[in-house]
Amino acid sequence: MSTALEVQGLSVGFGQERVLRDLSFTVTAGSTLAIIGPNGAGKTVLFRALIGTVPYEGTVRWAPDTRIGYVPQKLDIERDLPLTGRDFLRAKAKVAGVPRDEIARVLSAVSLDGGAADRPIGTLSGGQFQRLLVAFALMGRPTVLLFDEPTAGVDPPGEESIYALFRQLQRKHGFTLLLISHELNLVYRYADQVLCLSQREACVGPPIEVLTTERLQAMYGAQMKFHVHEHHEGRADT
């Protein structure tokens, strides 16, 4: 398998504070990497370094011709911003140089109905807005998708359906998926590799090696149990 992303010795600091220290990992093309860790461990900062919006030391090497689709954690949108979902997608179509009929394709891929797409984006529900951002990321056929807590602000059934959607889209388009998540049971089920970030150390490996009670306790610094059942379902208790 070819490599989609290679990170070596990545460090990011703001002033005196080091948020990420000497981080190295690689991601295989077409695989799913989940990034976990407590708040403040630098998960979002890692994404922003990967897309080049914060200065960093070290190397971030994407495969040639990589097209990135990014879904940020949350955006502060005014309720009365006169911009509909369709306006937003049209703008992306123009910038990415893709035909406008892409809009219908991505809207149906994320199951967002036309009615919601024609409403101002500030009035959409959390789940609808999330789907719109996924649709925005999918335009222009990205080879890599970055999701920052894709299910924050979404109710549990919606959460599961967003993960199922990723899985289905990934099977269809074969893109590489990087996602930040707190949902360890979903991470267990959907990720090929897990990258854990914490103040103390970082670790990388398949879920079965990384998501152990000892590792999680060391990382989150709290009582954290994670049960793996025989039929490969995970459950996290704090």
Partner 1 sequence: MAVAAGLVGSVAVMRRMTLAADAISHIALPGVGLALLLRFDPVLGALGALLVGAFLVWGVERQTRIPTEAIIGVVFSLALAIGSMMASGEQLIDALFGAPQSLGQTELVLGGVAAVLVIAFMLWARSELVIALVSPDLARTAGVRVARVELMFLMAFALTVALGLRYLGVLLMGSLIIIPAATAKQLARSLDGMQWWSVGLAVFAMLAGSLGGPLLGVATGPLTIVVAAAVFFMSLVTRRAG
Residue of 84, 130, 151, 193 that binds partner 1 (CB under 8 A): 84
SS (H, E, C) 94-134: HHHCCCCCHHHHHHHHCCCCHHHHCCEHHHCCHHHHHHHHH
What does DSSP assign to residue 47? H
205 is an interface residue for partner 1 by CB under 8 A? no
For residues 92 and 131, which CB has a smaller minimum distance to partner 1 in the complex?
A: 92
Rounded least distance, CB 8 to partner 1, Å: 22
* The only residue of 60, 96, 152, 165 in contact with partner 1, by rule CB under 8 A: 96
Answer for which of 6, 87, 160, 192 binds partner 1 (CB under 8 A) is: 87
Stretch touching partner 1 by CB under 8 A, among 56-64, 89-97, 109-117, 157-165: 89-97
Minimum gap (Å) between residue 74 Cβ and partner 1: 10
The residue with tokens 């999680």 is 216
Q: Measuring CA to CA, which residue among 126, 118, 116 is closest to residue 162? A: 126
Shortest distance (Å) from residue 52 CB to partner 1: 7
Identify which of residues 148 and 159 has a Cβ nearer to partner 1 in the complex. Answer: 148
Classify burial at 151, counting beta carbons within 10 Å of its beta carbon; exposed 0-12, middle 13-18, buried 19 or more.
buried
92 binds partner 1 (CB under 8 A): yes
**E strands within the chain?**
3-14, 17-28, 32-36, 57-62, 68-71, 144-148, 176-180, 193-196, 203-205, 225-228, 234-237
Q: Decide: is 69 part of the binding site for partner 1 (CB under 8 A).
A: yes
Which residues does residue 176 pair with via DSSP β-bridges, in sequence order?
Answer: 144
Residues that bind partner 1 (CB under 8 A): 48, 51-53, 68-70, 72, 75, 77-78, 80-84, 86-88, 90-92, 94-96, 118-121, 133, 136-137, 140, 146
